[in-house]
């Protein structure tokens, strides 16, 4: 059985976890303090919608500024070949979103709720995308509730942005905003004169979402093993995720440093028996990230630099094949407007695996191995036309180490200030059948989005 890297675990776990996954919590909490903490976090998750809706009913009567906006959207993605379950659509839904924004200094209430019907699963659902309360003072602020957090400066490359993502949304042609998932937690900002700080605490673990095996063909290293379960980190104070960002201007550049202590958000496999596996348990190993970024004007464009060290705390020596090795990641990017309304952006990512000799020595045979140095390049081209109502865009990933790619051309037209539509495609290929984009070779799709905003 192969030891999974930060990238390969995402690939190998997708199909298997979708076929049969059962979430298990960690050990039960025995002391009274931990029990109170557990109850509080459960209430935060399952009662947040009710509490915020109650606040929404009361808050506007006292608020100086209340606004309600939203949209109605149709989103459909058609595969160029039948899905594993025989269907034709990667995505097919209608969605209504309502946003409530109410404020009266020093408080602000924000709710973003989606109601949608999924034609593939034939289910109607309601989702609280975001729901939080702000308290803002001159030198500090605090936000509590479900919130979407964005750190780092990469364009669809995430080093210090370690918060929840939805990769199925990205690969199936949904609007890009749906690649980010909300996290239930608290964010505190402090703004002294010498720098600005953000401190985040997330008591309830939220994993990344990956492609559904009914809709996507994915590489599965052990397709014959159907007995699988997934274990989330236990909900207690010890497992609370903490993150800190400090940022300021340095010689005209936006400079940031980042610290994170929590868990990998993609599952890694633990087989019950390496030589004769009958059961696979997926777990989320402990992770710390130390990083920095720098972005500013240079060479008639915008230069971006970002790096991070991924400390795999459960396997500092690289000898445990069920836990990823530590890595160092570095990104350089450059964006420039070449002529009127035409912008080009390029990026290059390198990921270096530490203790690679131990990785190779301790990997069970028979499965593909990750490279010591993984490299990925991206390019984004954007042309605005017809008084910026028509947008032609092209984005691509290409791995110079693995040889696989993803292409995403898109045409978007704004019919008015309230109505827009977009048509695009996701095209995958080359590489190996287990590489990040090569394994998606059978999942090319064409998508359509149309939205009325109010």
Residue 63 has pLDDT above 90, yes or no: no
Q: Could you tell me which of 138, 126, 132 has the C-alpha nearest to residue 103?
A: 132
- Tell me the pLDDT band of 57, cut-offs 50, 70 and 90: low
How do residues 94-125 score in pLDDT, each as one tens digit? 999 999 999 999 999 999 999 999 999 999 99
* Token pair 């289910």: residue: 123
Beta bridge partners of 71: 97, 453
Q: Which of 46-60, 155-169, 275-289, 385-399 is the least confident region?
A: 46-60
Predicted TM-score (pTM) of the model is 0.86
Q: HSE (CB half, 13 Å, CA atoms) of 271?
A: 20
Residues 6+ apart with CB under 8 A from 205: 232, 233, 235, 239, 241, 262, 263, 284
Provide φ and ψ at 360, rounded to 5°.
-65, -35
Say if residues 421 and 410 touch (Cβ distance below 8 Å): no
Domains (range + CATH), the chain: 64-453 (2.40.160.100)
C-alpha span between 296 and 91 (Å, rounded): 38
Q: Degrees (nearest 5) of the Cα angle 319, 322, 327?
A: 65
Residue 38 has pLDDT above 70, yes or no: no
How do residues 387-426 score in pLDDT, each as one tens digit? 999 999 999 999 999 999 999 999 999 999 999 999 999 9
């Amino acid at each position: 059985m192969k030891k999974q890297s930060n990238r390969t675990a995402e690939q190998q776990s997708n199909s298997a976890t979708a076929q049969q996954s059962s979430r298990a919590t960690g050990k039960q909490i025995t002391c009274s303090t931990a029990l109170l903490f557990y109850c509080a976090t459960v209430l935060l998750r399952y009662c947040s919608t009710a509490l915020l809706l109650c606040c929404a009913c009361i808050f506007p009567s006292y608020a100086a500024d209340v606004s309600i906006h939203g949209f109605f959207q149709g989103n459909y993605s058609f595969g160029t070949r039948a899905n594993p379950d025989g269907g034709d659509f990667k995505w097919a839904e209608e969605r209504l979103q309502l946003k409530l924004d109410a404020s009266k200094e020093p408080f602000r209430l924000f709710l973003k709720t989606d109601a949608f019907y999924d034609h593939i699963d034939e289910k109607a659902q309601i989702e609280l995308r975001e729901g939080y309360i702000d308290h803002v003072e001159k030198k500090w602020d605090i936000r509590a509730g479900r919130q979407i957090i964005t750190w780092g400066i990469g364009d669809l490359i995430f080093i210090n942005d370690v918060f929840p993502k939805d990769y199925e949304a990205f690969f199936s042609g949904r609007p890009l905003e749906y690649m980010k998932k909300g996290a239930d937690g608290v964010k505190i900002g402090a703004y002294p004169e010498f720098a600005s700080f953000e401190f985040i605490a997330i008591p309830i673990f939220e994993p990344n979402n990956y492609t559904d095996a009914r809709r996507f063909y994915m590489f599965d290293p052990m397709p014959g093993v159907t007995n699988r379960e997934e274990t989330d980190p236990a909900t207690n104070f010890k497992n609370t995720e903490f993150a800190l960002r400090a940022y300021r201007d340095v010689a005209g550049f936006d400079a940031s440093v980042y610290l994170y202590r929590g868990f990998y958000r993609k599952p890694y496999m633990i087989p019950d028996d390496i030589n004769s596996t009958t059961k696979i348990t997926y777990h989320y190993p402990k992770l710390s990230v130390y990083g920095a970024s720098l972005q500013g004007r240079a060479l008639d464009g915008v230069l971006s630099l970002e790096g991070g060290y991924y400390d795999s705390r459960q396997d500092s020596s690289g000898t445990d094949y069920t836990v990823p090795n530590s890595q160092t990641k570095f990104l350089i990017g450059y964006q420039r407007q070449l002529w009127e309304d035409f912008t080009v952006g390029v990026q290059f990512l390198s990921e270096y695996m530490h203790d690679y000799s131990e990785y190779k020595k301790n990997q069970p045979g028979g499965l593909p191995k990750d490279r010591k140095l993984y490299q990925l390049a991206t390019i984004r081209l954007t042309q605005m036309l017809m008084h910026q109502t028509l947008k032609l865009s092209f984005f691509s990933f290409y791995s110079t180490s693995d040889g696989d790619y993803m292409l995403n051309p898109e045409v978007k037209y704004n019919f008015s200030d309230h109505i827009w539509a977009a048509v695009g495609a996701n095209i995958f290929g080359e590489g190996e059948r287990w590489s990040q984009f090569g394994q998606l070779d059978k999942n090319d799709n064409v998508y359509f989005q149309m939205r009325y905003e109010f």
